[in-house]
Structure 1
Amino acid sequence: MKKVLLVLALSLIAMPMYASASVISHYTYTKHNKSDLLAKDVYKKANLKGVIDFKVFNEGYQAYYNTPKRKKQLLTIIDYSKPSTQKRFYVIDLKRNKLVYNTYVSHGVNSGGKTSTRFSNIVNSRQTSLGTFLTDSTYYGGNGYSLRLDGMTPGINDNARRRYIVVHGADYANESFIRRNGYLGRSWGCPALPTKLARQIIDTIKGGSVIYARA
């Protein structure tokens, strides 16, 4: 009788342990795949095919998904693998599944000519930084209306504040500059935007949205 009771007791103890392992396994699987599924859903609903490669969008979406301090359902992607003569700055509204802006953006003067090939996190390098950024507040400075950025990728862009890497408008970031020179003008490392769009883009993405820059 004692042997039967012991076996029954051991069975009761083992059952919840088995159930818990099953739940944990299911949760891990769900968590791992959730962001991929969401990215595919947004990509399709926002009609981004042919506008931005899914691999690039998915990289940006994973950066957004894994940034806990974000405050807005907006994702900005800068694809520096494209030359400056192409519109490589994308702002996607993840709540409405809509591409809000797609325009030109400059890279740093020491990052390359028409195409950026060198990137840095070093102060005074005048090169572009890659990685995930969070937008902060606006101010008026030497480049006019500007948006402060915080670099969220350690060792890659976390000197953004010290380097004064901000979003701002610039005459050299306009399409007319490309027509005259064959390439977009370059900054000291800031992602400079066309003057006519700069303010409205800044006001859209300011206050805690994610920017993902890649090459």
Structure 2
Amino acid sequence: MVAGGVVASTAIASPVRAAVPAAARTTLTSPRVVRPALFREAMAALQAHGSRIAKRDRIAIADFAASSSVPRFHLIDLASGRTETLLVAHGSGSDPRHSGFLQRFSNLNGSNASCEGAFLASDYYVGKHGKSQRLVGLDPTNDNALSRAIVIHGAWYSNAAMLRTHGKLGRSQGCFAVGESELVQVFEHLGNGRMVYAAKV
């Protein structure tokens, strides 16, 4: 079910769809499931960082191979296989020409770019974007996440209305910015101690 063009929801046995013949594949991503290669990477990261991730029942995966015009932030219940998929913005430093596609990752302070790898969803705070959730980078590709204030927050430029007027979302300063009405859903899914994984596979 897709509500307002923002959330795609499905109950499936596994969050991965079986491979289809090459001739039938017309897009890189699907708004309903996680691509198998990306899901395998995320599960390998969950295994590798298991000692630092207290809660392993649910995860979130950002598929940055997809355009910001489509839902690409997968909230996955690993026990039931249920997936909810939302819109999410990437950093302006990752897409300097504002094409809607992430071009590059960066872990550097001041880059305003998204960074890749596994993150630990940490505590909440109230800042310039309202209630937000800190992320701890677990890999060399994102271990500056805390110092860069790479967080999950809501933003007007990540609302579905942006697609109607601009055909893509706005850009963050590297944060995972979701629609303002979807923020509570993300917080409830992750809580404190679960993994977020971001990649462009």
When normalised by structure 1's length, the TM-score is 0.76
Q: Which residue of 2 aligns with 1:71?
A: 54
Distance in 2 of aligned mates of 1:87 and 1:97: 18
Ranges in structure 1 where 5+ consecutive residues have no aligned partner = 1-42
Of Structure 1 and Structure 2, which has the larger fraction of its residues in helix? 1
Indicate conservation of the 8 Å contact 2:15/2:78, yes or no. no
In the alignment, structure 1 residue 88 sits paired with structure 2 residue 56: no
Distance in 2 of aligned mates of 1:81 and 1:200: 23
- 1:73-105 per-residue CA deviation (whole Å, 9 max, x = no partner) reads 111110101110011100111123321x20100
Higher relative contact order by CA 8 Å / sep ≥ 6: 1 or 2? 2
- The 5-angstrom pairing of residues 199-214 of structure 1 reads 199-214=184-199
Question: Who wins on radius of gyration, i.e. which is larger?
Answer: 1
Indicate conservation of the 8 Å contact 1:61/1:75, yes or no. no
When normalised by structure 2's length, the TM-score is 0.81
Q: Which residue of 2 aligns with 1:107?
A: 90
Q: Secondary structure at the match of 1:57?
A: helix
Partner amino acid for 2:13?
A: K
CA, structure 1 residues 71+184, in 2 after alignment: closer, same or farther (shift >3 Å)? same
Distance in 1 of aligned mates of 2:132 and 2:104: 24
**1:46 Cα shift?**
3.0
- Runs of 4+ in structure 1 deviating by more than 3 angstroms, as ranges, are none
In the alignment, structure 1 residue 119 sits paired with structure 2 residue 105: yes
In the alignment, structure 1 residue 146 sits paired with structure 2 residue 132: yes
Q: Percent of aligned positions with the same letter in both sequences? A: 34
Q: Secondary structure at the match of 1:162?
A: helix
**1:47 Cα shift?**
5.4
Indicate conservation of the 8 Å contact 1:145/1:199, yes or no. no
Indicate conservation of the 8 Å contact 1:105/1:191, yes or no. yes
Aligned residues between the structures? 171
Indicate conservation of the 8 Å contact 2:12/2:80, yes or no. no
